[in-house]
Amino acid sequence: MATNRSRRLRKKLCVDEFQELGFELNLDFKEDLADDAIDAFLDDFLTEAMEANGLDYVGGDDFGLVCLEKRGSVSEAQRATVEAWLKARPELTKVEVSPLLDAWYPEKPVNPAA
């Protein structure tokens, strides 16, 4: 694929200066946790950690991707806020939060300008 793209196409493809950053989550719940408790945790997570910070979550109960609610990139501060919120929760035994990565093309490196 050609790398000489117009500004409009770069924006449409979310590449180069239009790269959008997010991060991945890996969560381990306590083994004896009831399904109702997991559902309550997920409701709190979506309300308190995602919506309150202008973020969106795509994934399942224990793994997913966090990105900005609108076009743009998640900031390092937002990532740290979500990580702190998760680590304070007693329902979880392990929390893994990835560094910021390209939300559209995870295999590509993060642009310094992004």
Query: For 39-50, what is each residue's pLDDT tens digit?
Result: 999 999 999 999
The pLDDT assigned to 114 comes to 54
Please state which CATH number belongs to domain 20-102: 3.30.70.60
Q: What share of the chain is helix, strand, coil (3-state, %, to 5)?
A: 35, 25, 40
Query: 91 pLDDT band (50/70/90 cuts)?
Result: very high
Q: How far apart are the first and last CA of the chain?
A: 22
Q: Are 14 and 20 in contact (CB under 8 A)?
A: yes
How far apart (Å, rounded) are the C-alpha atoms in residues 83 and 55? 13
pLDDT: is 49 or 111 the higher one?
49
Query: 9 pLDDT band (50/70/90 cuts)?
Result: very high
Contacts of 35 (CB under 8 A, 6+ apart): none
Q: Are 92 and 40 in contact (CB under 8 A)?
A: no
Q: Are 26 and 96 in contact (CB under 8 A)?
A: yes
Which amino acid, one-letter code, is at 45?
F
Prediction pTM value? 0.87
> Domain limits of the chain?
20-102
Query: 51 pLDDT band (50/70/90 cuts)?
Result: very high
